[in-house]
Structure formats: C-alpha cells, structure tokens
Amino acid sequence: MPIQQICTVVEMTQLDASTWWMVLEVGKMVEQHGLRGGQFLHIKCGDNQLLRRPISVAITGWDEPEDLATLIFEVRGEGTKWLSQRRVGDKLDVLGPLGNGFHVPEIEEDCVEIEERHYLLVGGGIGVPPLIMYGWSMPWPRTAVLGFRTKGKAFSSVVSRFQEACEKTYLCTDDGTLGRHGFVDGQVRELLEQDKSFTQILACGPKPMLKSVAKVAAEFGVPCQVSMEERMACGIGACLGCAIRMKDGSMKHVCKDGPVFNAEEVDWDA
Amino acid sequence: MRKKCLDLSVELAGVRLKNPVVVASGTFGFGREYGQFFDLSELGGICCKGLTLHPREGNPPPRIAETPFGILNSVGLQNPGVDAFIEDELPFLRQHDVKVIANISGNTPEEYGVMCEKLSEAGVDMIEVNISCPNVKAGGLAYGTRPELAAEVTREAKQHATVPVMVKLSPNVTDITEIARAVADAGADALSLINTLRGMRIDVNTRRPILKVNTGGLSGPAVLPVAIHMVWEVASAVKLPILGMGGVSTGEDAAQLLLAGASAVAVGTALFADPCAPLKVRDGLAEIAARQGLSAVRELTGGIRPW
Ligand SMILES: Cc1cc2nc3c(=O)[nH]c(=O)nc-3n(C[C@H](O)[C@H](O)[C@H](O)COP(=O)(O)OP(=O)(O)OC[C@H]3O[C@@H](n4cnc5c(N)ncnc54)[C@H](O)[C@@H]3O)c2cc1C
Ligand SMILES: Cc1cc2nc3c(=O)[nH]c(=O)nc-3n(C[C@H](O)[C@H](O)[C@H](O)COP(=O)(O)O)c2cc1C
Ligand code: FES
C-alpha cells in the first residue's frame, strides 16, 4: 500500500552533465511497504510543477534510522532540473511504493520452490538502473546486456554492479565507443541463438528498444517482461491518465497495472 | 484549529453533506486508490468517475499534458459501465459514511434515463449529469452547448431518477446562464460547474499535439478565476444550489467559490499534487470561517459583496 512520505536527501552525486545519483531516506518504506527495484516513486518537484514526476527505484535497503532508496535520473525538463538542484539534507514530498516491479518469484516472499532459471537482464540508457537489484538478488545465473548512447553514458558506478553480480555482462553503445557497436537487440539475438537456457528476459529502456527486444524474445519463445513509461497524473490508478493499449484492445495503466508488463500483452503498434 | 461550535455541514438539493468538500468526477476513480491515503468518510461526498451505459476503453495515449498551473486531459470517459459500477464499486463506497454521487454521460437522452433508473434503484445519494459529451443523434454536438438539448437530457434524467439530479455545466459556451436557466426550468435539483475548458498543447519539435486526440480539457489552479466567475454568474441567474469546482486547492479557493454562490465545492486536479488536498481544503475553509466568527460554513454561500 502506498504512503505519502517526506524524504530526506542523504546523497547527491552528479554522474555527468545531465545525470544524477540520489539517495533518499524513505522512512520504513522498504521494510514495511516492500519498496523494491523496478517500482517507482512519485515525487513533487517544487511548487511550480503541478504534477509529480515518476522516477524508478534502482536500489533499496533496510537501514537505520530510515530505509534508503537510490534513484538515478536524467534532467529532461523543469521537473527533473529542480530535482537535480536538491542537496543533502533537503526534503522531498514522495508517494510510494508505486507500481509492480518485475515479477520474479525467487525474490518475492511467498516463493516456495522453483526449478532453475536463467535470467537475461536487458537495459537501455536510463532504463539500466532499475535492473540493478535483479542482478543481485537472485539465486540463479544472470546475464546482462546493457546499452548506452556512448561510452560516457556507461557510468562505472552502475555498470560495475552488473559486472560484480552477473555471470556475464555485455555492453553495447550506439556509436561503438564501448563494447559492441549497435543496439542491444542485436546482442540479445546472438545470445538467444547460442544459448537455449534463458528462461526469462527482464527489459527496461526506451520504447523502441523494448519493442525490438520483445520481438526477438517472441521469435525465440522466451518470456519477456518490459517496463513501460507513460505520462502520469495521479500515479496511483485513480485518474486513468497513464493508459497503454494491450494487444486485446483493452487499456491498462502504467502506474497501477505496470510499469512492468508481459511483452506479449502489449500492443506494440499502438 | 477548528472551533468546536463551527458547523461544517451543508445541504445540496436536500442531500446533507457533513462538510462542503466533495471530490471531482474523474479525478478520484471510485475511491479505492485515494482511500489508501485517508478515510473516505472524511469527505462530504464523492463524485464518481463518469459512467456510461456500456463499458468504454477511452482515448489512446498520451492522455495527460501539463500546462502552466494546470493539466490537459483526454481520458475520454474510460469506465467499466454502469452495471459493473453498481455490482463492483458501489458496495465498497457504501462501507463509508460519505455521500455517493454517480456521474453519468450518455449518447442519447434515453441512455441518461436508463442509467438514472438503475442508479436510483441501486441507492446512490445523487446523480450528476455530465452534459459535456457529444450527442450522437444531434450529429455529435455537445448537449451542454445548446439550451434545448441540455433541457431534454435534464427532463429525461428527472423522469427516471428518484434521487436528486445535479446537472454539470460546460464552460465552453458563450453564455452559461442561458444553459443554466434551461436546465433549471427542465427540473434540475442542483447544478455543478465548471467542467474542463477545451485546450491544446503542441510539441514544437515534432509539431504534434502532445495529446493523441489533439485536444483535451483544461483543469487545475489555472481555471479557478473562470470557475469563480461562472459560479457567480449562474448563482445570480438561477435559484438552484451549486456545487462549485475548477482549480480548488486551498481553503481560500473554496471560500471564494462559496462566496460567489456555491453551496459546496469539489476538489479534482489538486489531488494529483497532494492526495490529501481535499482534507486540507476542508480544514482551511473551517479556519477561514472560524476566523470570521461564523457559526456555520454555509453562511459563506453567496456572501460576496460585489462593487
Ligand atoms: C514509471 C516511470 C519510471 C521512470 N523512471 C525514471 C528514472 O528512473 N530515471 C529517469 O531519469 N527518468 C525516469 N522516468 C522518466 C521521467 O519521469 C521523466 O523524464 C520526467 O517526468 C520528466 O519531467 P520534466 O519536468 O523534467 O520534463 P518535462 O518534459 O518538462 O515534463 C513535462 C511532463 O511530461 C511528462 N514526461 C516527460 N517525459 C516523460 C517520460 N519519458 N515518461 C513519462 N512522462 C514524461 C512529465 O512527467 C511531465 O508531466 C520514468 C518515467 C516513468 C513513467
Ligand atoms: C483526469 C480527469 C478526468 C475527468 N473526468 C471527468 C468525468 O468523467 N466526468 C466529469 O463530469 N468530469 C470529469 N472531469 C472534470 C472534473 O470533474 C472537474 O470538473 C474539472 O477537472 C475542474 O476541477 P479541478 O480543476 O479541481 O480538477 C475530469 C477531470 C480530470 C482532470
Ligand atoms: S497516472 Fe493516474 S491512473 Fe496512472
């Protein structure tokens, strides 16, 4: 159940000209409300922005005196600019935990016993951080494919977390300055061709990337979960503002039914 | 802060609200979501998400665009239909001590009639008739823009409803008092206003409107002055009680609508900034009334002293 929480900024690190690493004290939102990576917080960004801004949770931890949540965000417009100007000690008005996060039975409480799985984590750009926790918390082998526009965007503080936790981490850049030259879906295709053991793909990134990853996953018959974005107002499922169309013609809502959906449910041509 | 002797209750067409703060249709769903943040019994009333006779999927996304101190929405009346509301949502709402106001939209006057019958029987406290939607028979012209169409819908609703009928007026007209009079003459028990103002935003790089259906309805603090003015105009033109809304986010905003002639106020878009906005509006209003030495908040209604 979501709550409204006044959160204190306890760490603020600039990763590059437009990207920030922010750690918040979130009360007991992790311990008591189950906040986890892949969910999002809906943050009031000053008095001049009427609507809150949704930002995904990258890392969470139980802590004293308060639980911690790490957000990694890019400055896009006025709201995220305001957020980037916060400093340690500043307070934020936050709603959370919101959304579902990836469905991974292994790290959900009531899981009893399941057969071995092999997860493929696929992230693009600012969609990479929400996957960090999924690299760490699973008992099975994980492989990561991370795509960035250019080398400078592949922050070592983010990438190293995958390299430490996953069996293998493949890097791709759009301009070829680091790792494989090209988009992540090419790498994903190569991996699925070589290795039939993957049981699940978890993907987060821009919509065109998700669409192409979903296509490759469908070709190889590997179940794929995607984290979607849409413009939001309430963030809790009341206003029906954040609708996305499903293959069956129905509407679902990113803030409440998502942001994570099964790729085969989504109408990619809408 | 609230003084013990201050009476917050108001009456709207014979329905007693324990306080004058209601939540606006379409911003509050059927109460479940915001009910996680506060006890719904704290509200005077809940205007539910707009219902249609049959379920509707609504408009394609994007449906939301932010504007200076406001938002545009083009949700397009997505709803589960009146029967599903009665079956799945009304019992939940009924667990709370709060007045339930169903909001309805129809393609034809007959659809309004059928919905009024079903909802009255199901036991809602009041029906809010949204006439800002297109009339299929009249070539898609909105009922709310023509006095004779608005009156026809009102008559049909009144004929089939056994609970009070409140007609919700559109601000997208040349003279709102003309519509208000037509609706009053047709037998409406109360009026609510304002619905959203038509608006548009364009992405200059792509040259595309932000909203997928190009245009949407403007709400939020930006529209408050329009709402105050229209409530004042309508209150001067007809005798019916008014539920005032449009951009309310503080007690002072609400007090202005009451002074202009409203008996109660609805809070909508302000919820998106602060889930507890309606309670803050209620408390702010109580504080103003107490500060002015009133014994009841309803004494504010129509208390404007125009120049
Ligand atoms: C579930 C979810 C999780 C997200 N997680 C992250 C994250 O971890 N890191 C990060 O950097 N960004 C994330 N975003 C995107 C982020 O919310 C937008 O970049 C931000 O809202 C832009 O606000 P602004 O005022 O800076 O920009 P503006 O362009 O001025 O915003 C104007 C309006 O458009 C909306 N908007 C703009 N871009 C987007 C977008 N891509 N998705 C949804 N709404 C948008 C804003 O919310 C606002 O209402 C996420 C979005 C969603 C929906
Ligand atoms: C997202 C959204 C959905 C709405 N849906 C409805 C609706 O279904 N029926 C209706 O009569 N009004 C609807 N409205 C209008 C509101 O009830 C209200 O009249 C308007 O938003 C002005 O109030 P506000 O500025 O406090 O939001 C909607 C408004 C918003 C923002
Ligand atoms: S943002 Fe309101 S329903 Fe999702």
Q: How many domains does chain A have?
A: 2
pLDDT at A139 (0 to 100): 74
Distance separating alpha carbons of residues A34 and A57, to the nearest angstrom? 12
User: A49: which chain B residues are within 8 Å (Cβ-Cβ)?
Assistant: 66
Is A254 a member of any domain? no
User: A242: which chain B residues are within 8 Å (Cβ-Cβ)?
Assistant: 61, 63-64
Is A239 a member of any domain? no
Distance separating alpha carbons of residues A223 and B210, to the nearest angstrom? 33
pLDDT at B143 (0 to 100): 85
Is B86 a member of any domain? yes
- How many C-beta atoms lie closer than 10 Å to residue B2's C-beta? 13
Taking the CA of residue B140 and the nearest CA in chain A, the distance in Å comes to 24
Is A127 a member of any domain? yes
Under 8 Å CB-to-CB from A227, ≥6 apart: which residues? A38, A56, A102, A127, A130, A203, A204, A210, A258, A259, A260
User: A52: which chain B residues are within 8 Å (Cβ-Cβ)?
Assistant: 272-273
Q: Are residues A127 and A222 in the same domain?
A: yes
Share of chain B above pLDDT 90, in %: 93
Determine contact, residues B267/B244, Cβ cutoff 8 Å.
Answer: no
The atom of ligand 2 lying closest to the CA of B223 is 25
pLDDT at B242 (0 to 100): 98
pLDDT at A196 (0 to 100): 87
Is A260 a member of any domain? no
Protein residue with least CA distance to atom 18, ligand 2: B195
Query: What CATH code is carried by the domain that includes residue A182?
Result: 3.40.50.80
Per-residue pLDDT tens over the stretch B199-216:
999 999 999 999 999 999
Pocket test for ligand 1, best of A42, A55, A59 (most atoms within 8 A of CB): A55
Cα–Cα distance list, A181 to A126, A174, B138, B192 (Å)? 18, 6, 59, 60
User: Per residue of chain A (270 residues), what is the pLDDT tens digit?
Assistant: 899 999 999 999 999 999 999 999 999 999 999 999 999 999 999 999 999 999 999 999 998 899 999 999 999 999 999 999 999 999 999 999 999 999 987 666 555 556 678 899 999 999 999 999 998 877 777 899 999 999 999 999 999 999 999 989 999 999 999 999 999 999 999 999 998 889 999 999 999 999 999 999 999 999 999 999 999 999 999 999 999 999 999 999 999 999 999 999 999 998
Backbone angles phi, psi at B56, to 5 degrees: -135, 140
User: B29: which chain A residues are within 8 Å (Cβ-Cβ)?
Assistant: 237-240
Q: What is the pTM of this model?
A: 0.95
| Cross-chain residue pair B70–A50, CB shorter than 8 Å | yes
Q: Which of A47, A63, A98 is a domain's end point?
A: A98
Q: What is the mean pLDDT of residues B158-183?
A: 97
Q: Are residues A146 and A187 in the same domain?
A: yes
pLDDT at A104 (0 to 100): 86
Range of the domain at B263: 10-300
Range of the domain at A149: 114-227
Which residues of B are catalytic, by number?
A: 133
Q: Which of A52, A245, A249 has the CB atom closest to B273's CB atom?
A: A52
Query: What CATH code is carried by the domain that includes residue B182?
Result: 3.20.20.70
**Contact residues, A window 21-80, toward B, CB-based 8 Å cutoff:** 44, 49-52
Is B5 a member of any domain? no
The ligand minimizing its distance to the Cα of A232 is: 3
Ligand 3 site, CB within 6 A:
A 232-235, 237-242, 253, 255-256
| Cross-chain residue pair B276–A231, CB shorter than 8 Å | no
Q: What is the mean pLDDT of residues B261-270?
A: 98
Distance separating alpha carbons of residues B86 and B101, to the nearest angstrom? 12
Per-residue pLDDT tens over the stretch B40-87:
999 999 999 999 999 999 999 999 999 999 999 999 999 999 999 999
User: B58: which chain A residues are within 8 Å (Cβ-Cβ)?
Assistant: 240, 243, 251
What DSSP element (H or E) covers A55?
strand A53-56
pLDDT at B3 (0 to 100): 45
DSSP state of A111: -
Q: Are residues A138 and A66 in the same domain?
A: no
Taking the CA of residue B239 and the nearest CA in chain A, the distance in Å comes to 33
Mean pLDDT of all residues belonging to chain B: 95
| Cross-chain residue pair B69–A50, CB shorter than 8 Å | yes
Q: Are residues A144 and A205 in the same domain?
A: yes
This complex has an ipTM of 0.94
pLDDT at A107 (0 to 100): 64
pLDDT at B138 (0 to 100): 58
What DSSP element (H or E) covers A84?
helix A78-84
Q: Which of A51, A242, A270 has the CB atom closest to B71's CB atom?
A: A51
SS3 A106: helix
Q: Which of B61, B71, B221 has the CB atom closest to A244's CB atom?
A: B61
- Taking the centre of ligand 2 as the mean of its atom positions, its distance from the CA of residue A130, in whole angstroms, is 33
Q: Are residues A182 and A219 in the same domain?
A: yes
| Cross-chain residue pair B33–A50, CB shorter than 8 Å | no
State chain A's maximal CA–CA distance in angstroms: 53
Query: What CATH code is carried by the domain that includes residue A70?
Result: 2.40.30.10
Best of A42, A44, A51 to mutate (most B CBs within 10 Å, chain B): A51
Best of B28, B33, B248, B250 to mutate (most A CBs within 10 Å, chain A): B33
Is B2 a member of any domain? no
More confident: A28 or B3? A28
Per-residue pLDDT tens over the stretch B93-150:
999 999 999 999 999 999 999 999 999 999 999 999 999 876 655 555 688 889 999 9
Distance separating alpha carbons of residues B128 and B126, to the nearest angstrom? 7
What DSSP element (H or E) covers A133?
helix A132-136
Distance separating alpha carbons of residues B162 and B187, to the nearest angstrom? 13
Q: Are residues A153 and A216 in the same domain?
A: yes
Q: SS3 for chain B, per residue?
A: CCCCCCECCEEECCEEECCCEEECCCCCCCCCCHHHCCCHHHCCEEECCCECCCCECCCCCCCEEEECCEEEECCCCCECCHHHHHHHHHHHHHCCCCEEEEEECCCCHHHHHHHHHHHHHHCCCEEEEECCCEECCCCCEEHHHCHHHHHHHHHHHHHHCCCCEEEECCCCCCCHHHHHHHHHHCCCCEEEECCCEEEECEECCCCEECCCCCEEEEECHHHHHHHHHHHHHHHHHCCCCEEEECCCCCHHHHHHHHHHCCCEEEECCHHHHCCCHHHHHHHHHHHHHHHCCCCEHHHHCCCCCCC
Q: Which of A93, A245, A250 has the CB atom closest to B60's CB atom?
A: A245
| Cross-chain residue pair B61–A230, CB shorter than 8 Å | yes
Q: Which of A191, A210, A227 is a domain's end point?
A: A227
Taking the CA of residue B72 and the nearest CA in chain A, the distance in Å comes to 10
Is A244 a member of any domain? no
Is B74 a member of any domain? yes
Q: Positive or negative CA dihedral for B291, B295, B297, B301?
A: negative
Q: Which residue of B has its CA nearest to A231?
A: B64
Q: Are residues A80 and A129 in the same domain?
A: no
Best of A50, A231, A252 to mutate (most B CBs within 10 Å, chain B): A50
Taking the CA of residue B83 and the nearest CA in chain A, the distance in Å comes to 18
Q: Which of B78, B220, B273 has the CB atom closest to A243's CB atom?
A: B78
Q: How many domains does chain B have?
A: 1
Q: Are residues A71 and A172 in the same domain?
A: no
**Contact residues, B window 87-126, toward A, CB-based 8 Å cutoff:** none
Is A135 a member of any domain? yes
Strand pairing of B197-200 and B215-219? antiparallel
